[in-house]
Structure 1
């Protein structure tokens, strides 16, 4: 059973002023046979005060009432010490989430709490996003996506009408017990229906490094690091096939380029592979590109002729080159995720009119392979048998 495998079972809720979500979720988990051993909250100062009043008051607290009603006294650890209040950068407790800075602090705190709880191998973490601001729920869900394991869960609770909007309803009672509706009608708590809606989430943890991200405490930094780690390594492979058109592979994915942009890209890759400096396109560069075009695409004489006509004058070269650069970037964006595509872009370095161009790819990550035509190889072997 899950309870035997994980002796520590934690319900983590991000709450605002709707403290009912805590007992509603506890009831739903009890109904599934997945009762937590402890409850943790992340909230504001106002949310904390409301939780202490509504849930933890020794006499009238609804958490204690829930435990009494279902014979759970002493089985779920939940006290004022279980509530983490979001603080400002200066250490003041936030009464509400009002500004972008407050929002960032909430993200940082939620991330830290989720990461800490998911670090315990003996624990199963159940994150509820039923309460609090929508952004807080998003932060909790994304943090669980980063650090959650196979045993961890994400959920929301669905409460039947007219109990959903009733401030006095906290959980379905095991016996008939009445509360008043907003229009003064009697409602029996025992008739309420509360359903736990589990939310599937992508577990990214296995795709990240083992020590990720020990040196990151800000939510924004963690997201950036995760994005970087999930991208495949940059590796540029160009296969120059005899009797066929070149093949361009970026991080193992094929990128299709028209002949002229391909000739420009191969030319830049060869320069970068030699660790040559950036180049300012002129007639000399144009001549090299055209010669390479003829070599790579011998059957594309029409393209070659058009390029010759377009590159008669020095002042024609830069606009022509920039046009091909734009086509290269468009093809990379179509074939790769945006951030990965940028790793293969043609960088423009320096200010005009002294701008030079080179590939972003590191020289050590470039592989240019010449592959002979299989038919030519067989013919050569036939004409030169081993002695």
Structure 2
């Protein structure tokens, strides 16, 4: 397992060496690499203090540890809204660019399952530390950590103090004058106490779509937050099932976010059957029993599937299934074993497989909190009443939990 220390810094890069000292003192994993998120002004301070003046190398020598991989390329400067490195974020657009940048860096560093990330919130502006902590909560895994370094009173923000060095002796101010304690005694570097304060955080990574943790394009913080919040605002979701294009589209009426899904023909027909029952307020679409496959349900399903294959619906399921098998042998777009499983009706296990297939399809791009409104579920009680909480009972009718006014079906 490789270990990375990620820190936000401002004009006091001392927080980096303080954090490293505390990690060593508390016998926590020593980082193999070090990354900083800062402004262009902070970049100059970090490069000068940690690299040019050698405080990072001096710390490692004194502790007898290997220096983490760190050079100027590991000092990540936040951009403004135009992508230009900034001294400070001055506009709403700049702050949004800062959030996107930090979210993307955390996403990139947490993409490797063989790498742990320890994020430090000790330095930099409050907005930077907030976004870093929030990004860790969204993307952090079990092996990742979040902390803040605490330094004893009198040593904070001193330009001459980098860590409790046994070799440095008395500290001095910026003019070179010796510094004294409140009691008038020399302020000695080695007398400082540096403590690492762990910050517990809730990890939401498992509830996020699998596409987010992957490296690639920039992550847009606002879109991610909006997407997560949509789970509590299903009234803003719009679902379109375009049977002509064989496409499922999910969109947000309050933003330009739009997600397209291309299921299999079998999956699309099954989903259209569920959506149509929802829109028609038909509560009798139930899961087949374990003892007997459902032929009535198969007929409803074939009525959805056959037009997708360019076939006319048949009066009975036996004829329809035979025509579908003949078509499949010619086109090869539906697996024969799928059709064979339907000989005699839809069995319970086949029904469950289609549900699972569709749920996984939505979870590829959407958080669990959103996909649950789109995935087939029991939405009707056995007496035909609409459930307030989908899936809260057994034996009821299936459909799509989303409100029917938010569902549009475009026929072939």
Please confirm whether the aligned pair reaches a TM-score higher than 0.5, indicating the same fold.
yes
Q: Residues 171 and 179 of structure 2 are in contact (CA less than 8 Å); yes or no, is this contact kept in structure 1? A: no
Equivalent positions of 1:349-368 (< 5 A) are 360=405, 362=407
Q: 1:223 to 1:87 in 2, by over 3 A?
A: same
1:251 maps to 2:243: no
Distance across 2 between alignment mates of 1:105 and 1:363: 35
Structure number with higher helix proportion: 1
1:194 maps to 2:182: no
1:55 maps to 2:50: yes
Q: Could you state the TM-score of these two structures normalised by the residue count of structure 1?
A: 0.59
1:253-307 Cα deviation digits (max 9, x unpaired): 69xxxxxxxxxxxxxxxxxx9xxxxxxxxxxxxxxxxxxxxxxxxxxxxxxxxxx
Distance across 2 between alignment mates of 1:145 and 1:360: 35
| Bigger shift: residues 19-28 or 138-147 | 138-147
Deviation at 1:240, TM superposition (A): 7.1
Q: Equivalent of 1:65, from 48, 51, 58?
A: 58
Deviation at 1:152, TM superposition (A): 0.4
Q: 1:13 to 1:70 in 2, by over 3 A?
A: same
Equivalent positions of 1:1-387 (< 5 A) are 6=1, 8-33=2-27, 34-57=29-52, 60-72=53-65, 74-175=66-167, 177-180=169-172, 184-185=179-180, 186-212=186-212, 217-228=219-230, 229-231=367-369, 233-234=372-373, 237-239=379-381, 248-252=387-391, 360=405, 362=407
Q: 1:360 to 1:193 in 2, by over 3 A?
A: farther
Distance across 2 between alignment mates of 1:37 and 1:120: 14
Q: Residues 106 and 139 of structure 2 are in contact (CA less than 8 Å); yes or no, is this contact kept in structure 1? A: yes
Deviation at 1:131, TM superposition (A): 0.6
Deviation at 1:191, TM superposition (A): 1.1
Q: 1:362 to 1:35 in 2, by over 3 A?
A: same
Q: 1:201 to 1:360 in 2, by over 3 A?
A: farther
Count of residue pairs brought into register by the alignment: 254
Secondary structure in 2 matching 1:65: helix
Q: 1:361 to 1:238 in 2, by over 3 A?
A: farther
Q: Could you state the TM-score of these two structures normalised by the residue count of structure 2?
A: 0.56
Gaps of 5+ in 2: 181-185, 231-366, 394-398
Bigger Rg over Cα: 1
Secondary structure in 2 matching 1:231: helix
